[in-house]
Chain A
């Protein structure tokens, strides 16, 4: 266990110092601030625009950073050779991967907290006081998307080269965003078999499930604990699945720098 935390701490330290950290923070905070401004000047309902743009800024900035870092922490270790030295020490390969994931998750949560502080700033600037528990639930579930994508990109990075892994991770991210809209856009004439296939894919890999802003802000449906539990379980299952695949794939791989 201490080995796992040692690797997680090392990863946290490295990512915290990564050149992408400050730009990602600035871009995220900047987009959140812009969503605040756009909602103020927008023609539609203030809250709808604020939450639509805000969640999109939060989701996209964090997801891209998660994909990039997930890829980077494994690929950089391969490239600079520190992977070889670390695995030559008494560290199991799965422990190494899980430690890396844990470190990445910690940095992502840290980044998420900084974004939430910026969000609170928007609340204060419009005189709305402290943010509601709903906001915490909303951004919490969105952070789960980051964590799922981090596990996904670690999986690809552990079995493929950097460019291939990055391509596959981005492609999967896009697929996760468009699977549900494709399912909804199917015409009534679509054959039943095709519909079922699309339904299965959208059911298994649908990142919209993590965005609860639509149901609450647009349809005024309150957040139900059971519903939140379902979404959290879904996220954890996906994370566990990708990490398990990564561990199995990485276990068999020869480390040739």
Chain B
């Protein structure tokens, strides 16, 4: 059974910094957990409270109420030795070299699996892994954005954390960099490192994540263990039929006793039907072929399609 590596209970934060501005409720009674060895996506529109939540996990912001438990116990400064953090933008000292940054990081973390005499070797291995070994003496200010992202990755992982927070790790990467980053994240997943992935990219969530939390207005509004279409009660497949209308489709369903659709939209002799499961769609394909109807499209819907996300992001806003 998988245990929660990190648990957030009733976390609340109100920004009250400016005397002349209204108080702003950023995180509102947030409760969620991040399972050990799993990759969890934390999603939400801008201002949903993701970054504030992450900053509270790292102790950068003090919560007004609630608690954060690490392996069942209240989080302490020393627990942060087991954490890794890759922020959204490259937040690195500009006038230090790649090698110096990693050396400083190791001196601060003092990982148990490494003796100080082994730091040099660990830095070499890490810089070779992210293809920055040739640039080890280059100052951060001289690195490209992609190189900076990779160095941020190295900084977040060199001490072998048990839990790592990746805030938009793919942002600003070219296709090669993107591919490398996916490989690196998959490597961490294989090592059973708990990952919290903040991203808006649906593709990376579906490929990399085992669990998804969607936040809105400082709360988790949707949570799922596996973001696959089959586990949801929502439409999983969509079919587009050409040369027909709503009446003839209803007639076809009656005459062939076909399973009912979840949603139907008809326009200009094109009908779009959505089904709960794949087998319903297959029965409709057979019936359409028998009746000479032209199927122009039949596709699987993602559990986290853009439409759905917009709905999750928007639901609470209008509430």
Interface size class of B (residues with CB under 8 A): 20 to 34
The answer to whether A85 touches B91 (Cβ under 8 A) is yes
Which residue of B has the minimal Cβ distance to A6?
A: B107
Q: Report the stretch among B73-81, B247-255, B268-276, B306-314 that lies at the interface.
A: B73-81
A255 with B108, Cβ < 8 A, contacts A80-B94, A85-B155 known = no
Q: Which of B60, B108, B155 contacts A84 (CB 8 A)?
A: B60
Interface size of A by CB at 8 A reads 28
Which of B60, B77, B85, B92 contacts A80 (CB under 8 A)? B92
Instruction: Tell me if A184 counts as interface (CB < 8 A to partner B).
Output: no
Q: In the complex, which residues of chain A have a beta carbon less than 8 angstroms from the beta carbon of B90?
A: 81
Contacting pair B80 A89 (CB below 8 A): yes
Interface of chain B residues 33 through 83 with chain A (CB within 8 A): 55, 58-62, 77-81, 83
Q: Is the CB of B60 within 8 A of A255?
A: yes
Return chain B residues, CB-CB under 8 Å to A85: 85, 87, 91-92, 155
Q: How far is the CA of A95 from the CA of B196 in the complex (A)?
A: 28
In the complex, per-residue mask of B102-114: 1 if CB is within 8 Å of any chain A CB, else 0 = 0011011110000
| B305 interfacial contact with A, CB 8 Å | no
Chain A positions within 8 Å of B110 at CB level: 2-3
* Residues in A whose Cβ lies below 8 Å from that of B96: 10, 13-14
Does B100 count as interface, using CB distance less than 8 angstroms? yes
> Is A163 positioned at the interface, with any CB of B under 8 Å from its CB?
no
Q: Mark A56-99, 1 if CB is under 8 A from B, else 0.
A: 00000000000000000000010011101111111110000000
* Chain B min CB distance to A112 (Å): 22
Q: Say yes or no: A91-B58 contact (C-beta < 8 A), given A10-B93, A80-B92, A81-B89.
A: no
Shortest distance from the beta carbon of A252 to any chain B beta carbon, whole Å = 8
Docked pose: A77 CA to B79 CA in angstroms: 23
Per the bound structure, the CA–CA distance linking A6 and B80 in Å amounts to 17
Interface bits A87-122 vs B (CB < 8 Å: 1, else 0):
111111000000000000000000000000000000
B-contact 0/1 string along A229-248, CB 8 Å cutoff:
00000000000000000000
Q: A90-B81, A91-B108, A255-B60 are in contact. Are A81 and B87 (CB under 8 A)?
A: yes
Instruction: Say whether A254 contacts B77, CB under 8 Å.
Output: no
Min Cβ gap B311→A in Å is: 30
A90:B91 contact, CB within 8 angstroms: no
Tell whether B204 is near chain A: CB-to-CB under 8 Å: no
Are A82 and B92 neighbours in the complex by a CB distance under 8 Å?
A: yes
Docked-complex contact B93 and A90, CB < 8 angstroms: no
User: A90 — which chain B residues lie within 8 A by C-beta?
Assistant: 77-81, 108-109
Pairwise interchain contact A89-B94, C-beta atoms closer than 8 A: no
Quick check: A13 and B60 within 8 Å, CB to CB? no
Task: From A3, A87, A252, give the contact of B60 (CB < 8 A).
Answer: A87
Closest to A11 in B: B93
Check: B95 CB closer than 8 A to any chain A CB: yes
Q: Is A165 close to B, CB under 8 A?
A: no
A79 to chain B, nearest CB (A): 10
Whether A185 is near chain B, meaning CB under 8 Å from some CB there, is: no
Contact pick for B91, options A91, A92, A256, A257, CB 8 Å: A257
A132 within 8 A of B: no
Tell me the B85-137 residues at the A interface (CB within 8 Å).
Answer: 85, 87, 89-96, 100, 104-105, 107-110
Using a CB-CB cutoff of 8 Å, which residues 254-286 of chain B contact chain A? none
A245: min CB distance to chain B, Å: 19
Contact with B along A9-28 (1 / 0, CB 8 A): 11001100110000000000
Kindly list chain B residues whose C-beta atoms are within 8 Å of the C-beta of A89: 80, 83, 85, 105, 108-109
CA distance A14 to B94 in the complex (A): 9
In whole angstroms, how far apart are the Cα atoms of A223 and B17 in the complex? 51
| A7, A82, A86, A91: residue with the most chain B Cβ atoms closer than 10 Å | A82
Q: Of B80, B89, B95, B155, which one neighbours A14 at CB under 8 angstroms?
A: B95
Instruction: Determine which of B61, B78, B80, B109 lies in contact with A256 in the assembled complex, contact meaning CB atoms within 8 Å.
Output: B61
Q: Assess whether A81 is in contact with B95, with CB atoms less than 8 Å apart.
A: no
Asked if A81 contacts B91 (CB within 8 A), the reply is yes
Docked complex Cα distance between A125 and B316 (Å): 79
CA distance A17 to B113 in the complex (A): 32
- In Å, the complex CA distance between A254 and B51 comes to 13
Nearest B residue to A19 via CB reads B95
B16: min CB distance to chain A, Å: 10
Question: Is A14's CB under 8 angstroms from B77's CB?
Answer: no
- Cα-based distance from A122 to B38 in the complex (angstroms): 68
| CB–CB A88/B108 < 8 A | no
Question: What string of 1s and 0s marks CB contacts (under 8 Å) between A165-184 and chain B?
Answer: 00000000000000000000
Cα separation A90 to B55 with both chains bound (whole Å): 14
Measured CA separation A164–B221 after assembly (Å)? 41
**Closest residue of B by beta carbon distance from A7:** B108
B298 CB to closest chain A CB (Å) equals 47
Residues of chain B at the chain A interface (Cβ within 8 Å): 17, 55, 58-62, 77-81, 83, 85, 87, 89-96, 100, 104-105, 107-110, 155
Instruction: Pick the 7 closest A-B CB pairs, nearest first.
Output: A81-B91, A6-B107, A88-B58, A255-B60, A90-B80, A88-B85, A254-B61
- A sample of 19 cross-chain residue pairs with beta-carbon separation below 8 angstroms, ordered by A number, consists of A2-B110, A6-B104, A6-B108, A9-B104, A9-B107, A13-B96, A80-B91, A84-B55, A84-B60, A85-B155, A86-B108, A87-B58, A89-B80, A252-B62, A254-B55, A254-B62, A255-B60, A255-B61, A256-B55
